[in-house]
Amino acid sequence: FCPCHGSHYDTSGRIRKGPAPKNLEIPPYQFVSDSRIKIG
């Protein structure tokens, strides 16, 4: 949920409802180990 304009997104960042013009962006990431992911 975005408090700024009321859009709703699913767990993948896709728009489900609201005025948002596009899906959320996926930030850069890399797998550091089998149990860790570095985001950003």
By annotation, the residues acting in catalysis are: 5
CB 2 within 8 A of CB 20: yes
First to last CA, the chain: 21
d(CA 15, CA 33): 31
